[in-house]
Copies of this chain bind each other. A is one copy, B any other.
């Protein structure tokens, strides 16, 4: 039901098959409030919505909506002929503490109205809850998923089941929950992260995404519930999320908040609209603010900016440059950049799931030293023969040290940050064939790790290291105590 077309880092372009057609992922599903249609559904489709999400619980609890939904089905109720996902009231549960419906009933209702993607009644344990509460509620969620999964079994043209991964801010519980849900469901939403998003707790979100990912099968789609802000989308996709929903476009519009991949603006204090969308290219900030249709227009902008971000993410996946986009986007907030470093430290799953790069990696900062291609490159050093005499240089020694002739060495390596040493014949191959820049201290430390590895691994080889000035201090620090290496810097020349 989910076919992956292209992969880049942990992100992918995929196709999800539902009873009402296909959804190409990564996809953003606008949330429709069945009681208050801010934008006509037809307009959402024009702006880019391939699928919608609405709240089955609200419909269930609202007699006239419920009657009509059962009568004509959810698609005709909304006037939308493409896939519709329905939520079970988990948000209401998180706000009001309980909802007045049993799991079986709300699942049955979603089946009856012809939803394409059904969510059972899950328990959205808030972040930083006591561990025993998180564990207990997680078990309830798993039981409800299991019940729903059995109810769906054998249905013809069966709707998909979204099986929410809960576990509060306990990474191991998220992973455990994901493992328990394996084989029960078609989509695995990561639940109850909205309070973390609202408080810019991106580190916790990174941990939750990666641990949920570790627990799920790699070929199932992951939905990040409630994450519709364009600032976070590329990050979430790069670490393995496929589906998103956005109530933000409307909720933010109501509060005069203007979404952008660079963060959130307050429309009331803006003078310029930093976006090319049909709304922003035909209104000034003042005109938008004073328009009678302000809320609707702002909601349209909010959707436009999110959908264009999704297209940018997809094009980046095709190009193989998604993680570079993430490195740009994470500069929108220091906590997002911190979260990126946390996420990149999960080297096991990243090295397992990320494909070989199809494009040269671009240096973007200290986090570039944490990329899988750097580790993969350094792993190749294990297999290299270096002979008795080995020279490693950052700049060819001909001009600075004419007394050194490469012919006198059994092996020759070029040293580049952050990759480390590589033989000249690899210079034109991925990943070292990138645009070379001086890099930063982290990049140089990482490169020198490769040198240290070679030096230690070949104790009978004498290494001659010819370094540009900016490398010398760090090299002395890293190579301290190794006696089969001689460092030549500019001061020897």
9 closest Cβ pairs, A-B complex: A274-B312, A276-B308, A365-B365, A441-B441, A276-B277, A272-B311, A366-B440, A272-B315, A276-B304
Q: For the complex, what is the distance from the CA of A437 to the CA of B366, rounded to whole Å?
A: 14
Which of A278, A311, A338, A362 has the most B CB atoms < 10 Å from its CB? Answer: A311
Chain B positions within 8 Å of A327 at CB level: 331
For residue A281, CB closer than 8 A to chain B, the reply is: yes
Closest chain B residue, CB of each to CB of A6: B271
For residue A92, CB closer than 8 A to chain B, the reply is: no
A392 to chain B, nearest CB (A): 22
Interface pair A328/B333, CB less than 8 Å apart: no
Closest chain B residue, CB of each to CB of A364: B331
For residue A151, CB closer than 8 A to chain B, the reply is: no
Interface pair B318/A275, CB less than 8 Å apart: no
A447 to chain B, nearest CB (A): 14
Closest chain B residue, CB of each to CB of A261: B328
Interface pair B442/A262, CB less than 8 Å apart: no
Stoichiometry (number of copies): 2
Number of A positions contacting B (CB below 8 A): 55
Q: For the complex, what is the distance from the CA of A362 to the CA of B315, rounded to whole Å?
A: 28
Closest chain B residue, CB of each to CB of A47: B281
Q: Which of B329, B338, B477 contacts A438 (CB 8 A)?
A: B338
Interface pair A335/B281, CB less than 8 Å apart: no
A236 to chain B, nearest CB (A): 17
Interface pair B438/A441, CB less than 8 Å apart: no
Interface pair B338/A362, CB less than 8 Å apart: no
Interface pair B338/A437, CB less than 8 Å apart: yes
Chain B positions within 8 Å of A196 at CB level: none
A63 to chain B, nearest CB (A): 38
Interface pair B362/A281, CB less than 8 Å apart: no
For residue A48, CB closer than 8 A to chain B, the reply is: yes
Q: For the complex, what is the distance from the CA of A312 to the CA of B335, rounded to whole Å?
A: 22
Given the contacts A262-B325, A312-B262, A325-B262, A281 and B277 also touching, CB distance less than 8 Å = yes
Given the contacts A262-B325, A276-B276, A440-B441, A304 and B281 also touching, CB distance less than 8 Å = yes
A444 to chain B, nearest CB (A): 9
Chain B positions within 8 Å of A337 at CB level: 363-365, 437
Q: Which of B315, B362, B441 contacts A270 (CB 8 A)?
A: B315
Q: For the complex, what is the distance from the CA of A341 to the CA of B328, rounded to whole Å?
A: 16
Which of A265, A278, A316, A436 has the most B CB atoms < 10 Å from its CB? Answer: A278
A6 to chain B, nearest CB (A): 10
For residue A153, CB closer than 8 A to chain B, the reply is: no
A448 to chain B, nearest CB (A): 13
Interface pair B328/A331, CB less than 8 Å apart: yes
Q: For the complex, what is the distance from the CA of A363 to the CA of B334, rounded to whole Å?
A: 6
- A276-299 CB contact bits vs B (8 Å, 1 = yes)? 111011100000000000000000
Given the contacts A304-B281, A442-B441, A477-B477, A435 and B333 also touching, CB distance less than 8 Å = yes
Chain B positions within 8 Å of A274 at CB level: 308, 311-312, 314-316
Given the contacts A273-B311, A315-B271, A366-B366, A328 and B262 also touching, CB distance less than 8 Å = yes
